[in-house]
């Protein structure tokens, strides 16, 4: 750091200190990917954040305490969710508002719960149990806390709402016969869609950030998003391209994912899914459910994440609302 400071002093008149710092850290915004990765650790220490368990309670309490250090404007939505088999679960959505008076707003969302079962694990014996959820849950939350750090220091030009939603990953992702109600998953976003924070709440656009910490980051455009809000997809992938991140935000459409954006699209919000569903190590992609994909397996662990991947998505997210 000392030599960097000296360099900055020497060259600040020529090229500006920020650009020199950027070359050292790789950051392209005020977002701190290394710090974001640190925010994964306390969550994993709680254990799997499965609804109805003490770890789930602790995680929500932790998010609320952490985000209140970064903004005074926090809304908690609490309710009891009945699942498809009649189980009753305590649920909480946490909404943190930055620049709360701004009428032009952007909505970012990520789920904070962990799926109860590792039902894609190649080891059948492991499928009944839960899993750490390092990428599927903790990484998105960590990214949002780090976004809070940056937006506390420099408030965004538009209003930004960070929705930490609950109960995304409980059970099956199939809709009922109406095609619009998901009886066993996407609980938090269905609740949010029915209880928007303001009457007439209509953000300029919304982005769901899901499974964005994978070391081998490959984010393709998601089909439901492209169909519902092509201009938002274009905006996000263009911003990534402008930052030099087309290697990670690949401008190709690859399959649809039933995810937390769907209930919001269903009430007319323009929300897309930024999701790296090819969650594997070897760098050439892997189909969800294949033996080398860590999605919904006990292999969804801290070592599969990287600060650099969080840096990439954090830079894109922060630049979009700068």
Q: Which parts of this chain interact with Zn ion (CB under 5 A)?
A: 136, 169
Which is closer to Zn ion, CB of 121 or CB of 136?
136
To the nearest whole angstrom, how small is the minimum distance from the Cβ of residue 246 to Zn ion? 26
In the complex, minimum distance from the CB of residue 139 to Zn ion, in angstroms, rounded to a whole number = 11
Minimum separation from the CB atom of position 177 to Zn ion (A): 24
CB 83 within 8 A of CB 171: yes
Q: Which is nearer to Zn ion, 52 or 155 (CB)?
A: 52
In DSSP terms, 77 is beta-bridged to 93
Bridge partners (DSSP) of residue 94 are 76, 164
Our CB check for Zn ion shows the closer of 133 and 156 to be 133
Least gap, CB of 111 to Zn ion (angstroms): 8
Please classify residue 73 by burial: count the beta carbons closer than 10 Å to its beta carbon, then call 0-12 exposed, 13-18 middle and 19+ buried: middle
Comparison of 51 and 203: residue with beta carbon closer to Zn ion = 51
For β-strands 88-98 and 73-82, DSSP reports them as antiparallel
CB of 211 to Zn ion, least distance (A): 7
d(CA 88, CA 101): 36
Of the two residues 239 and 309, which places its CB atom closer to Zn ion in the complex?
309
DSSP per residue, 76-144: EEEEEEE-TTS-EEEEEEEEEEESTT-SSEEEEEEE----S--TT-SSGGGTTS----IIIIIHHHHHH
């Amino acid at each position: 750091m000392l030599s960097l400071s000296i360099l900055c002093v020497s060259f600040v008149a020529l090229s500006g200190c920020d650009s020199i710092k950027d070359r050292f850290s790789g950051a392209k915004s005020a977002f701190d990917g290394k710090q974001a990765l640190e925010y994964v650790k306390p969550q994993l220490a709680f254990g799997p954040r499965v609804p109805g368990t003490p770890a789930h309670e602790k995680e929500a309490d932790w998010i609320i305490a952490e985000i209140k250090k970064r903004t005074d404007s926090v809304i908690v939505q609490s309710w009891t969710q009945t699942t498809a088999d009649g189980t009753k679960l305590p649920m909480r959505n946490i909404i943190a508002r930055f620049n709360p008076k701004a009428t032009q707003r952007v909505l970012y969302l990520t789920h904070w719960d962990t799926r109860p079962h590792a039902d894609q694990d190649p080891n059948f014996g492991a499928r009944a149990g839960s899993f750490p959820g390092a990428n599927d849950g903790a990484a998105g939350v960590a990214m949002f806390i780090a976004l809070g750090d940056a937006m506390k220091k420099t408030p965004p030009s538009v209003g930004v709402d960070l929705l930490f939603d609950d109960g995304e990953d409980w059970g099956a992702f199939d809709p009922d016969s109406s095609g619009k109600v998901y009886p066993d998953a996407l609980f938090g976003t269905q609740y949010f869609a029915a209880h928007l924070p303001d009457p007439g709440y209509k953000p300029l656009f919304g982005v769901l950030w899901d499974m964005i910490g994978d070391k081998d980051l490959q984010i393709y455009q998601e089909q439901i998003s492209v169909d519902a809000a092509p201009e938002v997809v274009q905006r996000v992938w263009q911003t990534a391209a402008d930052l030099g991140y087309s290697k990670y935000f690949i401008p190709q459409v690859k399959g649809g994912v039933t995810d937390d954006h769907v209930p919001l699209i269903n009430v007319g919000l323009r929300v897309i899914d930024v999701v790296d569903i090819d969650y594997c190590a070897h760098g050439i992609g892997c189909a969800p459910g294949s033996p080398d994909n860590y999605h919904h397996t006990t292999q969804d662990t801290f070592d599969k994440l990287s600060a650099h991947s969080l840096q990439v998505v954090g830079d894109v997210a922060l630049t979009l609302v700068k």
